[in-house]
A and B are shown apart, each in its own frame.
Chain A
Amino acid sequence: MTTGVRWTGRSLRRFEDPALVRGLGRFVADVADQHRGTLHAAFVRSPVPAGEIRSIEAPPGAPVLTAASFGGIRTMCARLDRPDFVALETPVLASDAVRHPGEPVALVVAGSRAEAEDLAEQVVVDIEATRPVLDAAAATDPAAPTVHAGLDMPMGNNVVLDARFATEGLDAAFEEADEIVALDIRAHRQNALPIEARGAVAAHDPATGRTTLTAANQMPHMLRTALADILDIGEAELRVVTPEVGGAFGQKMCVPREYVALVAAARLLGATIAWIEDRSENLLASWHSRDHSYRLRGAFDRRGMLLGLDADIVCNIGAYSNYPVTFGVEPLMAMAELPGPYRLSQYRVRSRAVTTNMCPIAPYRGVSRPVLTLAMERLMDTAARRLDLDPVEIRRANLVREFPYAMPTGLPVDPGSYVETLDAAVEALDLEGFRRRQQQAAAEGRYVGVGFSVFGERTGYGTPAFAARAMEITPGYETVQLEMNPSGDVTARIGASPHGQGLATALSQLLADELGVEPRHVSVVHGDTDTTPYGWGTFASRSMVIAGGAAKLAAERLAAQLREIAAHQLEASPEDIRLEDGSAVVAGTSVGVTLPEIARIAHHSSHLLPAPMEPGLSVSATYDPGGTFSNACHAAVVEVDPDTGHVHLERFVVIADAGLEVNPMIVEGQIHGGVTQGIANALYEELVTDDDGNLLTASLMDFLPPTACEVPQIEVTHLQTITDASITGAKGVGEGGAIGAPAAVLNAISDALSPLGIEVDEMPATPARVRELIRRAQPTTTGGRT
């Protein structure tokens, strides 16, 4: 190692990977296998979307637990403290009514999962099915069934949130407009589809009276708090461990009813019980996502300037809320962030959450942003076509260039590179060359197109931002505890809970630079409530910004202590001490002392420490920032087969700006995965139910994630705008890929089909939907030849 080398900014290989690629990663199902005598659980689930439970009959003596077995267990309920919000309570197991297909009604345990499934089949649940309501628009009809009968719904049938915002000059802006563009955007239901479904092992230890829940999740501390509150016990009786997690994407953030039931059952039976969710359960009744409709009107002047925006947003949030963020996160984020990076002064929005007899919704990578970005980007392209402007020009005209900027809702946007990423994408694509090729293709009867998507991703926001949502449980800060052991190695204990992102590697790089050690001497401890400080876990593109910021602050404290000890030893001034190459040296000299030597003194010869310093090397710091916007431009090139409606993705270009990139390879990995999920959203994945509420996409034969065959090479270019909204300079990048991709793809399809006057506003844009649009636009087909 050479002096002064910086680890930050290098694409270091991830320390996490050697174990994972050799099959040595330990996931929940592995933990289940490790315990001797583990029992396996299966849930008996409602076969219907709505009904009254008449009786639950189990074979005599069978270990079947129902709500009654758990006595006075509480319901799960997280609240927002706002007048336009109706709180929904979720029972841990349904006891009187069922409100969505797959809702858990009973839990059975047996020696193996196969036997548990055998037993579950023998449990007879007598449900008097009632008429379900599945569609959000239909649910608001006063004549529609009420999903939570008996609950006061002052804002309309099944309306559980009705939030509004308006600036004063909106109507005037529309009167002034040269062109008013109206759009209906529809994003169908999806499942976040982590490759590992959910799962947990609850082990009750009669010796200590404690229960350990090892669970695939993103928020171990929050999960423990929730379990303790619902089960009405102290948190000290519980330990939550997060082992290796095979993808989460938000689906493992909210507290599952199944985990609560499992802990209750383990305590009741004094046993170790595992539940490893299977794919069908996961598709049916884990958490769903999206299912948003936007009615949008944009007022534009002749030059394409956006003068005003009027939006009506409806989110079908399913049968229950989620814990702790609530269903409010979907409509409230949509209304707060819809205008995105486009300068806008006049904005009116109404955003509703509607409860239906569908599986509840939880945040999924990007949450509302993939759809709100789709809405704005479709608006820009549609307006450009109407006004005969270039889609790049209309964006350049409207994009924010001066910072800090405040959205009409007051949301502050820190410096970013919105125009620059767009320009870079135009160059990467050779847009002029592409337009020529597009014309040639058109002459051959082929339909190729390009689509852009420019967006900001609000990331790394702490308590102040969440407090604006008036959450009863307000997340935000992160704490990092840092210690150096006697051999000079550094351990960081974090409340964030990485699950595949490579955060341990990236934090090691950051800490290595602050402390003058090599990253391999830094280990990161996470995912265990017994050994880490309270924190909020990993979600909302927050870990590098917030846990990274806390790590930096903690490292500054530890570095100060190391310098002080070294200065005392070397009879120098602490300001003159540099930490580098594993030593503390007096600047400009070769006089120094190694970090292990300092560590020995701190732990083993503490009488040599400068007074009044305490023995040991252990510090802690917390960071709670207001948030920072990363940004990107995505561009897709597609060819549409007009006879089948199939969309072939030729190229996918991403110009991403995530501020300081601690590890560019990890950033790129996040983008690749996110874009792939965005492509899934745009073209492939859709949860479909029939009119009776039966899920028709209950396996991966029918719910279709794209594979390596369908996803093109994703070409990523990095820009780095550093702002002081983040003390490390890093911005979040976990969700951006998923946010930008759908709009780029749908814009590209619309561009390809523009000769037919087709605008694609519904996703996924399945071949059947695309073909139907073509057939309506062009009744005589080309005869099947391409």
Chain B
Amino acid sequence: MKPAAFEYHAPRTVEEALSLLHEHQDEAKVLAGGQSLVPAMNFRLARPAVLVDIAHVPDLDRIEATDPGGVTIGARVRHLDLEHNTIAGPLGSLIASTGRWVGHYPIRVRGTFGGSLAHADPAAEWCALACALDAEVHCRSASSERTVGAGDFFEQMAFTTCLEPDELLVGVRLPRLSDSCGVGMAEFARRWGDFAIVLAVTAVERDGDSITGARIALGGVAGGPVRALNAEAVLNGGPATAETVAAAAAAAADEVDPTGDIHGSADYRRDLVRTMVTRALDQALA
């Protein structure tokens, strides 16, 4: 369990990082918190010839308020900083309650938000959150710059995004949630800190007792994070009642097409979708 030989670079600026990526193309990998990449290298599942460590690149570690209520999260903001964020309103509390579920404390100390999105584990909490909120992902290469919506960023294949080999994810913008927006996060894993078998992130806007805009993202049920669009449709315009929640949860369980693994068969995951969606919606409507 030792990595294959590699070259290591620690650039001091974004430009330097981008030019290294440009030079080495798919020979190179960005090293952020190392909490996914290093284990993969030790197992020799990943064998990059060149590592570009962004630990010393300035400015990527900031959480900045953008337009009122929205934020931009720098690529190497740590999970722990998000768990303890000071972002106001429902967005801040959704980020905090989602962050708690990412791995264990030592992993949250090192692992980064951008690393999680770039790694694109189908059961990653941050990927589901980005998907639920239609995050905008800022990507840069030596020669170009673009902003990609979460829906296009994640490919529906595990560990696959639209990032080009020479591109760096620099930051992610999350939109404002209104003060009355209800949020919820429910996850089931075998042990505390494990990757989810199934997780659900919800954000529900309401006008009195009727639901005006529901967002539900699921993890652990497909190649990437997915929106439960049918379930959202059941909720939108409906009354905020237990019956609506039950119908939405059933719709979510219906619309997913999970594959099984040793921690849970497809059937079990589908069954858990109903439970997790129910629980996340119960929180959002509480």
Which residue numbers of A lie inside 8 Å of B, CB to CB? 112-114, 117-118, 121, 278-280, 643-644, 646, 684, 688, 696-697, 699, 701-702, 704, 706-707, 709-710, 766-768, 771-772, 775, 781, 783-785
**B230-286 residues at the A interface, CB under 8 angstroms:** 246, 249, 261-265, 268, 271-272, 274-279, 282
Distance from A648 Cβ to chain B, minimum over Cβ atoms (Å):
11
Given the complex of chains A and B, what is the CA–CA distance between A784 and B193 in angstroms? Answer: 22
Which of B2-10, B54-62, B131-139, B210-218 lies at the binding interface? B2-10
Of all A-B residue pairs in the complex, the 8 with the closest CB atoms, nearest first, are: A784-B278, A784-B275, A114-B2, A709-B192, A278-B1, A643-B275, A768-B268, A688-B262
Q: Which residues of A contact B43 (CB under 8 A)?
A: 280, 699
| B275 contacts A644, C-beta separation under 8 Å | yes
| A784 contacts B188, C-beta separation under 8 Å | no
With A114-B3, A696-B262, A702-B262 given, is the CB distance from A644 to B188 under 8 Å?
A: yes
Q: A280-B1, A644-B188, A767-B188 are in contact. List 12 more A-B contacts (CB 8 A).
A: A117-B1, A117-B44, A278-B1, A279-B1, A644-B275, A704-B190, A706-B191, A707-B191, A710-B191, A766-B190, A784-B249, A785-B282
Find the B residue at minimum CB distance from A279: B1
Distance from B15 Cβ to chain A, minimum over Cβ atoms (Å):
33
| A644 contacts B191, C-beta separation under 8 Å | no
B207 part of interface (Cβ distance < 8 Å): no
Q: Which residues of A contact B190 (CB under 8 A)?
A: 684, 704, 766-767
Q: Which residues of B contact A121 (CB under 8 A)?
A: 44
| B268 contacts A785, C-beta separation under 8 Å | no
B194 part of interface (Cβ distance < 8 Å): yes
Distance from B46 Cβ to chain A, minimum over Cβ atoms (Å):
14
| B194 contacts A117, C-beta separation under 8 Å | no
Q: Which residues of A contact B246 (CB under 8 A)?
A: 783
| B4 contacts A709, C-beta separation under 8 Å | no
Given the complex of chains A and B, what is the CA–CA distance between A196 and B229 in angstroms? Answer: 48
| A783 contacts B249, C-beta separation under 8 Å | yes
Distance from A455 Cβ to chain B, minimum over Cβ atoms (Å):
27
Find the A residue at minimum CB distance from B194: A704
Q: Which residues of B contact A697 (CB under 8 A)?
A: 262
| B188 contacts A646, C-beta separation under 8 Å | yes
Given the complex of chains A and B, what is the CA–CA distance between A643 and B194 in angstroms? Answer: 19
Q: Which residues of B contact A278 (CB under 8 A)?
A: 1
Q: Which residues of B contact A114 (CB under 8 A)?
A: 2-5
Distance from B52 Cβ to chain A, minimum over Cβ atoms (Å):
21
| A707 contacts B1, C-beta separation under 8 Å | no
Find the A residue at minimum CB distance from B104: A707
| A117 contacts B2, C-beta separation under 8 Å | yes
Distance from A576 Cβ to chain B, minimum over Cβ atoms (Å):
64
**B173-189 residues at the A interface, CB under 8 angstroms:** 188
Given the complex of chains A and B, what is the CA–CA distance between A646 and B198 in angstroms? Answer: 13
Distance from A625 Cβ to chain B, minimum over Cβ atoms (Å):
41
With A114-B2, A280-B1, A702-B262 given, is the CB distance from A783 to B271 under 8 Å?
A: no
Q: Which residues of B contact A118 (CB under 8 A)?
A: 4-5
Between A and B, 15 residue pairs with Cβ closer than 8 Å are A114-B2, A118-B4, A121-B44, A280-B43, A644-B272, A704-B194, A707-B191, A707-B193, A709-B193, A767-B190, A768-B265, A781-B274, A783-B246, A783-B249, A785-B282
| A710 contacts B192, C-beta separation under 8 Å | yes
Distance from B27 Cβ to chain A, minimum over Cβ atoms (Å):
18
Q: Which residues of A contact B193 (CB under 8 A)?
A: 707, 709
Q: Which residues of B contact A772 (CB under 8 A)?
A: 268
Distance from B51 Cβ to chain A, minimum over Cβ atoms (Å):
15
| B268 contacts A704, C-beta separation under 8 Å | no
Q: Which residues of A contact B249 (CB under 8 A)?
A: 783-784
Q: Which residues of A contact B195 (CB under 8 A)?
A: 701
**B40-69 residues at the A interface, CB under 8 angstroms:** 43-44
Given the complex of chains A and B, what is the CA–CA distance between A766 and B188 in angstroms? Answer: 13
Find the B residue at minimum CB distance from A699: B43
With A702-B262, A704-B194, A709-B193 given, is the CB distance from A113 to B2 under 8 Å?
A: yes
Which of A704, A706, A784 touches B276 (beta carbons < 8 Å)? A784
Q: Which residues of B contact A644 (CB under 8 A)?
A: 188, 272, 275
Given the complex of chains A and B, what is the CA–CA distance between A121 and B5 in angstroms? Answer: 13
Distance from B191 Cβ to chain A, minimum over Cβ atoms (Å):
6
Find the B residue at minimum CB distance from A708: B192
Given the complex of chains A and B, what is the CA–CA distance between A775 and B191 in angstroms? Answer: 22
Find the A residue at minimum CB distance from B261: A696
